[in-house]
């Protein structure tokens, strides 16, 4: 970041800006305008620029107005000169990079032909990095915050092709081990959180995780689902309802996204990116109140050679404020559950129509005490072992018989012959949220009746405090 003293004001210029608007990209590539941008690394007027670039002042003014319309230059000062007002302009950045996003449908896409040994795929991955980091940089700049990143630059030479291949294998193993070793690390506040997860079952031993990217590996990569099936599961109302919460999705930019988390908790958002089969993103309809996070969510679907699909997910908007770690951890725990549901759905119930039964309550009891009540009310002596067959016997709702497929500090999961059943208690010593999510596949279900039964069961266990 560079600062200039203009008049009595300090003018700040970004060191680098990423251009993602196609029109702005075209303007910046014009040779005359590119020269003017270079000259305006320091503030100048049309008159001073005309002398330096050898053009009439009127033509320079025309080009400056075009650059200003596309956000590439900005006004820093106006000076009175007789009967005229001279406008002093400066470039909005010291240098520019054009994002592949400016190319629209013809932008490089790493999902089209993933190949670690392909130079073209390397370029496509680098292009995606430019686009994603550019978007994060723009958001951080707008918020007046520094974007936390890390990069290395160097050169390695090899005597033979065999040496190069050996180095690639050792590097892959080292990075894989490092990522696995960061599982318990907590990400920095304000950072972007991204996960990559093939939509297939993966044992804990085949999952490498970090605070920024989580990629399932090993056999899971070769047993995957096709991208069209994954797209339908994340970008349509019926698909998302089959593993997340009941959804309504209007599939277009500007369309609405409605989610029902149970217990009267609903959210409404707006689609911000819609590239069928590849990219789906949404955020809030209106800016949040001051001091509240402006969360945004993005899903990227990438097919793999030989079968399989990688789903990349990004949630951004966490604020650097007191309690952000708890907030981040809460979302991380929830997404762990839901993406596990997605893998189970695609493995055991793919394509079947789904009905969601969602209920939720809150209690001032510590989480450990809430779990003690939940286990007892479900007819369990305590947390069951994964892989065992159990029968849950709540008072009111029908029994649930199936295999225990999830046991974490926050959730208990059972997979029955007809669905996925998730009981949760998330919080701490000062209280927690309790929930019961059921994804029922195949035949017709009385959703209203079951929802009332499960909500009544939770409300009886954890009554709302009286005013």
What's the pLDDT tens digit per position in 238-260? 999 999 988 999 999 999 999 98
For the purposes of burial, counting CB atoms within 10 Å of the CB of 310, is it exposed (0-12), middle (13-18) or buried (19 or more)? buried
Residues linked to residue 249 through DSSP beta bridges, in sequence order: 257
Give the tens place of pLDDT for each residue, 441-463. Answer: 988 889 999 999 999 999 999 99
Rounded mean pLDDT of 202-231?
43
pTM of this structure: 0.54
Q: Per-residue confidence at 265, pLDDT binned at 50, 70, 90?
A: confident
In the chain, where the domains are located: 2-98, 102-142, 169-351, 355-461
Rounded mean pLDDT of 290-315?
83
Q: Per-residue confidence at 195, pLDDT binned at 50, 70, 90?
A: very low
Question: Which pLDDT belongs to residue 201?
Answer: 32
Give the tens place of pLDDT for each residue, 78-101. Answer: 888 777 788 899 998 888 888 888
Question: Which pLDDT belongs to residue 208?
Answer: 31
Question: Which pLDDT belongs to residue 180?
Answer: 60
Rounded mean pLDDT of 22-46?
90
Q: How far apart are CA 391 and CA 404, in angstroms?
A: 10
Q: In 200-323, which ranges are continuous DSSP H helix?
A: 227-235, 237-241
Looking at domain 2-98, its CATH architecture is Orthogonal Bundle (1.10)
DSSP symbols for 404-449 = EEEE-SSEEEEEETTEEEEEEEEEETTEEEEEEEEEEESS---HHH
Q: How far apart are CA 411 and CA 415, in angstroms?
A: 13
Q: Indicate whether 192 pLDDT > 50.
A: no
Least confident range of 3-17, 190-204, 321-335, 422-436: 190-204
Question: Which pLDDT belongs to residue 462?
Answer: 94
Q: How far apart are CA 462 and CA 465, in angstroms?
A: 9
Contact 92, 99 (CB under 8 A): no
Mean of all residue pLDDT scores within the chain:
81
Contact 433, 369 (CB under 8 A): no
Question: Which pLDDT belongs to residue 179?
Answer: 64
Question: Which pLDDT belongs to residue 116?
Answer: 64
Q: How far apart are CA 112 and CA 53, in angstroms?
A: 44
Q: Indicate whether 223 pLDDT > 50.
A: no
Contact 435, 360 (CB under 8 A): yes
Q: Indicate whether 325 pLDDT > 80.
A: no
Q: In 291-401, which ranges are continuous DSSP H helix?
A: 324-348, 367-377
- The secondary structure of 115-161, three-state, reads CCCCHHHHHHHHHHHHHHHHHHHHHHHHHCCCCCCCCCCCCCCCCCH
Buried b / exposed e along 319-340 (16+ C-beta atoms within 10 A) = beeeebeeebeeebbbbbbbbb
Q: How far apart are CA 84 and CA 57, in angstroms?
A: 14
Domains 2-98 and 169-351 share a fold: no
Question: Which pLDDT belongs to residue 117?
Answer: 66
Question: Which pLDDT belongs to residue 5?
Answer: 39
Residues 6 or more apart whose CB falls under 8 angstroms from that of 369 comprise none
Q: What CATH number does the domain located at 355-461 have? A: 3.30.530.20
Q: How far apart are CA 188 and CA 324, in angstroms?
A: 9
Among 382, 373, 365, 398, smallest CA distance to 458 is for 373
Contact 67, 27 (CB under 8 A): yes
Question: Which pLDDT belongs to residue 65?
Answer: 92
Question: Which pLDDT belongs to residue 322?
Answer: 76
Q: Indicate whether 159 pLDDT > 80.
A: no
Among 240, 248, 315, 242, smallest CA distance to 281 is for 315
Give the tens place of pLDDT for each residue, 404-429. Answer: 999 999 999 999 999 999 999 988 88
Question: Which pLDDT belongs to residue 292?
Answer: 80
Q: Indicate whether 467 pLDDT > 50.
A: yes
Superfamily per CATH, domain 169-351: START domain (3.30.530.20)
Helix (H) or strand (E) holding 177: helix 161-181
Question: Which pLDDT belongs to residue 460?
Answer: 95
Q: Per-residue confidence at 335, pLDDT binned at 50, 70, 90?
A: confident
Q: Per-residue confidence at 160, pLDDT binned at 50, 70, 90?
A: confident
């Amino acid at each position: 970041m560079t600062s200039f003293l203009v008049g009595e004001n300090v003018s700040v210029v970004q060191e680098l800006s990423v251009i993602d608007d196609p029109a702005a990209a075209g303007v910046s590539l014009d040779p005359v305008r590119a020269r003017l941008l270079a000259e305006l690394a320091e503030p100048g007027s049309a008159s001073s620029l005309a002398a330096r670039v050898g053009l009439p002042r009127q033509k320079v003014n025309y080009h400056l107005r075009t650059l200003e319309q596309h956000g590439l230059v900005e006004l820093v000062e106006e000076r009175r000169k007789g009967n005229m007002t001279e406008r002093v302009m400066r470039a909005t950045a010291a240098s520019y990079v054009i994002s592949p996003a400016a190319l629209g449908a013809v932008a490089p896409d790493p999902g089209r032909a993933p190949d670690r040994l392909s130079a073209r795929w390397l370029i496509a991955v680098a292009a995606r990095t430019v686009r994603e980091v550019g978007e994060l940089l723009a958001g951080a700049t707008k918020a007046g915050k520094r974007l936390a990143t890390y990069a290395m630059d160097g050169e390695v030479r090899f005597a033979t092709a065999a040496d190069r291949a050996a180095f690639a294998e050792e590097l892959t193993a080292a990075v894989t081990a490092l990522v696995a070793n960061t599982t318990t690390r907590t990400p920095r506040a304000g950072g972007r959180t991204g996960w990559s997860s093939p939509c297939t079952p993966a044992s804990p031993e085949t999952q490498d995780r970090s605070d920024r990217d989580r990629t399932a590996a090993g056999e899971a990569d070769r047993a995957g689902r096709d991208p069209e099936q994954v797209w339908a599961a994340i970008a349509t109302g019926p698909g998302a309802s089959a593993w997340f919460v009941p959804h309504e999705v209007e599939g277009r930019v500007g369309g609405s996204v409605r989610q029902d988390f149970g217990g009267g908790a609903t959210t409404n958002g707006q689609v911000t990116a819609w590239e069928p089969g590849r990219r789906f993103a949404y955020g809030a309809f209106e800016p949040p109140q001051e001091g509240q996070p402006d969360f945004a969510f993005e899903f990227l679907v990438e097919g793999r050679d030989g079968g399989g699909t990688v789903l990349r997910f990004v949630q951004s908007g966490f604020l650097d404020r007191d309690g952000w770690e708890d907030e981040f951890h809460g979302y991380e725990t929830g997404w762990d559950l839901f993406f596990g549901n997605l893998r189970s759905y695609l493995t055991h119930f793919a394509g079947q129509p789904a009905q969601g039964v969602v209920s939720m309550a809150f209690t001032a009891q510590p989480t450990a005490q809430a779990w003690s009540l939940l286990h007892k009310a479900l007819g369990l002596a305590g947390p069951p072992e994964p892989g065992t067959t159990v029968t849950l016997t709540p008072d009111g709702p029908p029994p649930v018989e199936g295999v225990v497929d999830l046991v974490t500090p926050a959730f208990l999961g059972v997979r029955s012959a007809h669905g996925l059943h998730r009981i949760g208690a998330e919080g701490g010593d000062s209280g927690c949220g309790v929930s019961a999510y059921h994804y029922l596949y195949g035949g017709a279900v009385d959703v209203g009746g079951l929802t009332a039964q499960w909500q009544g069961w939770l409300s009886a266990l954890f009554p709302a405090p009286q005013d």
